[in-house]
Structure 1
Amino acid sequence: MFRFLLGLGPKELRVVDIKTFPACRGSDRKLRLFACECYYRVRALLPGELAEAAVETANRYADGLATLEELQAVEALVEQALDSMEDRWRASQGAELISLQPTHDALGLSFQVVRTQAPKAAYYASSNAYLSAAAIANPDAASRGTSYDASRAAEERAQADVLRDIFGNPFRAVTFDPRWRTSTAVELARQMYESRVFGSMPILADALLEAGCDDADVLAHCRGDGPHVRGCWVIDLLLGKE
């Protein structure tokens, strides 16, 4: 799914080696928000004030509320913190490794989120998040053990749902009627976007229906189980975000 979204060809081509993404099907803003959400999904496993601050900077940068210089500055801070613990991390094992892993992985994941190139930030935040979630949930499991694989697969599935919420169906574009942007619908969308609490999505469906929206995909998405996150394609259409 991700390689299709980024417009990539052969799987052998490493994303880190790609300079530009001319065929990318997603905006930098949406890709950055997805990267942030990868962190937020596993943040309970990855304590760390610096990592949290870095991801919040990336979130603000996605919405034009932080500058590139701010993003690069926090990237440098995270990289410095990672470098300072790298030798100890590489030498650790057993209980020490288990103790260090949450902090190390929090820094590693946030470092991916604040990458300057949004496609790379999203791609590597995704893999860092599901690998960290699996490792921390199964500290005594082999990297290819059954429980590890199950945890990894569960997080990958959850990320896929988030990806669908943000980007929608690339094969079935929705023609959004401006008349659906009533004051009620826009205000509901704005409140959910700013609060990051999306419990009013079914109410938004009712507001859109009253505004004349009869698009089955839009209404079903609002009434579905979610998840809904910042960058949700219906919310973005209402707020005029790309």
Structure 2
Amino acid sequence: MFKIVSAAIAVSLTGLPALANAPDYSPQDGEVLAFDVYRGDTEFGTHEIAFQREGDELLVDVDIALRAGFGPVTVFRYEHESSERWRSGTLVAFSSQTLKDGETYTVQADLENDALVVQGETEEGGDVTNSFAPSILPSSHWHGYPDGLERILNTEFGTPMEVTVEYLGEERIAADGTTIMAHHYRLEGTLTVDLWYDANGRWAGCAFEARGQSIRYERRSAA
């Protein structure tokens, strides 16, 4: 029913492309970014990202759960779980499992000989293998996307996604139970997604249109 771009680094973010108009974001051990997701004005589900450090690496776990229905009857369900492992600003391993439109897709990626080798599936269900430069960014959004970016890793299927990134300036959005000033970016790929990042470079909001429906993310307060 809805097509979702799914939706994380080492002790230093050196080597990871930074947002052009917002500061580098360095997640803390144990930090969680949590969003309430709305379809129009109706609660649609949640999207959470948890960060954990292991030595010089950072592990990022993404958990998305979306549901639409009438009372107890579910008419649409989307679930996505993924894990990213970053070392010195490089994505060295990735795995995901996605339940979408009643089908399950899995992706597994590892860094091999200076290339990220990704075993995934097409949306039609066929197996596919792709190799990416170690600098590839996954479509998990928390890290932001630099100006001039042309391709990212689709985390649902493990396939390349051609994109353009545009910075649209600063504006006030709802987040953390109040309103905040945030940097607004537009990512155009298989879906056009508006993304906002706060003054610290943390992902703060998201909005897109899917099959005539307006989807909106609102970040919960960490307190």
TM range (shorter): under 0.3
Structure holding more strand per residue:
2
Instruction: Look at both structures and tell me which one has the larger radius of gyration over its CA atoms.
Output: 1
TM-score of the superposed pair, with normalisation by structure 2: 0.26
TM-score normalised according to structure 1 size: 0.25
